[in-house]
Structure 1
Amino acid sequence: MTAKILLIEGKRNDGPSFVAGLTKKGFQVETVASGSAALTRLQESRPDLVVVNAATMRTSGKRICMSLRQEAPSVPIVLILEQNSEPIDKIDANVVLNLPFTLQKLLNRIKPLLPTEQKAVMRAGPISLDVDQRWVRCGGRQSSLTPRLVTLLKILMEQRGVVIERERLFSMVWDTNYTGDTRTLDVHVSWLRQAVEDDPRHPRYIKTVRGVGYRLDVDEPEKTRPIPPLNSKKLL
């Protein structure tokens, strides 16, 4: 899956632009011209990484990075500074680069900050799940998950918009035909809500359909997908 980069570049002509180079390398790049515009786009765009090209703006980038870190603590930040810029103390950036440098050097510093395997990252609305690394990102925060919670969320994301019966969901997650006691499922859903929801007591995404089961609601068109049979293989 293509990594998404939010690139903040100003209008100074003497600073180099990295839009074309990053796009050519296969990244999905969205550009904004200021830190305030980036904050506006941050939650809706949900980038994997933010690049602050302070060399194209009349700023050191320190305040922009601080605001970005407060808004989305888990999103990596790369700060690009002009040549011979003064060192910045306590900068809220994962990587700081001083011009001049090659595009390849920028790529070398960006790649370790991205999910290890982009193809392992699933997305449903604002929710991103890395199946291999076992983390979920939603609303600017990132949480680690147990293997069982990864399986549960993966199923809900694959069947988003579809109500999955409690017994069937339990059978799929625990890979068993015994569904006599599904209270364990309720506990795991509660833990998952703590990782995903802003207010777990009033969930926005993981909905309970009383007397039936659970459904994942996200801000995208609902899709109806067939639910695998009870004898399906483990997802993890």
Structure 2
Amino acid sequence: MKTILAVDDEEHILELLAYNLERDSYKVLKSESGEHALEILAAEKVDIVLLDWMLPGMDGIEVLRRIRADKSNHRIPVIFLTAKSDEISKVVGLEVGSDDYLVKPFGIHELLARIKAVLRRTEGIAKVTENEDEREEKLIIDSMEINRSRRTVTFEGRPIELSFKEFELLYLLAKNRGIVFTRDNLLEKVWGYDYIGETRTVDVHVSNLRKKIEKDESHPVYIKTVRGMGYKFA
């Protein structure tokens, strides 16, 4: 049974989520604050987090940042459930490292579909990593080392912290240097055929990667934009 942590400061929303998710055979843990949510993550095994943005005290963005900075939990998939529907908020949520973004009010069937899609993607990649535990698969490009087995990236000797999707995107592009991928190609290969989202997601993650691995993100050396087509690793 998969465990879901639902974080929202409105009790009736938590009850609604718990009722519907438990009917679909999930175990549900509930939290009304970001601080409490982090305490639960430190004590319990959680498979996915449903996170509200506007929480009292520590908001959802800060909670997500702390999850991604925690070596024990940084790979846990997170779906934002929020009333913030503007494009800038969606971009910020994705840049910080959310795996999906669903605007309130939402349909429970769509939520269930998104949860299942995210779990399929993350579990599939985890199984591949487990099968590689006896050999380290590395890509070394100039001063960058991408270790697929350990899921680590170093640049000029310093570690680079990447979200789950950022790592998968970087590894795919770097392993296929010179090959141009359209945004739709990247959505299919990194997010999965059943991803419910827009190609803008790819642009956001590429932008976030450039901030982390490029010395000058406005003049990228590694991840190049191919006008009218998509992206490639130069």
Q: TM-score range by the shorter chain?
A: 0.3 to 0.5
Structure ranking higher on relative contact order (CA contacts 8 Å, 6+ apart): 1
Structure showing greater Rg: 1
In terms of fraction of residues, the more helix-rich structure is 2
